[in-house]
Amino acid sequence: QCARGLAFGKARDFGIEPRPADFGQTLGVWGLDSGPYLVLPFFGPSSARDGVGVVVDWYTDPVYFIDDSGTRWGLRGLRLVDVRADLLNVSRVIEQAALDPYAFVRDAYLQRRNSLVYDGNPPLEDE
């Protein structure tokens, strides 16, 4: 997050507002369909498009270029713990609200990703 914050600060110096996105979103904006829904071990819900995006994001993350492997893996581990902590409340909501947890998570994930691809204004789908 620190590297992103620094980059966003520099962008603001030139009048460019930050729009954080991952490569899966970029592929979606370029018109690539999300493909089948996947559940990736350790990563959780995803789609074929976002699975490819995770690989690209991994190798373009500024942390990847840190020479000291202890620091690099420490930062990756810290990020993983942070994400997991953010998801603790989500797990409770799913347990309490969902009749079918798999379908609930799948639909919520796909709707959220679609919203992110279209910057919060996805096209209406035909029923």
**Distance in angstroms (rounded) separating the CA atoms of residues 14 and 28:** 27
Predicted confidence at residue 89, as pLDDT, reads: 81
CB 28 within 8 A of CB 34: yes
Kindly report the CA angle at 58 between 32 and 81, in degrees rounded to 5?
Answer: 115
Q: For residue 72, give the amino acid letter.
A: R
Pairing of strands 37-40, 44-47: antiparallel
Q: What is the pLDDT along the chain (127 residues), one digit of tens a residue?
A: 444 544 556 667 777 777 778 899 999 999 999 999 999 887 789 999 999 998 999 899 889 899 999 999 999 999 889 888 888 888 888 888 888 989 999 999 999 999 999 888 777 775 5
CB 70 within 8 A of CB 77: no
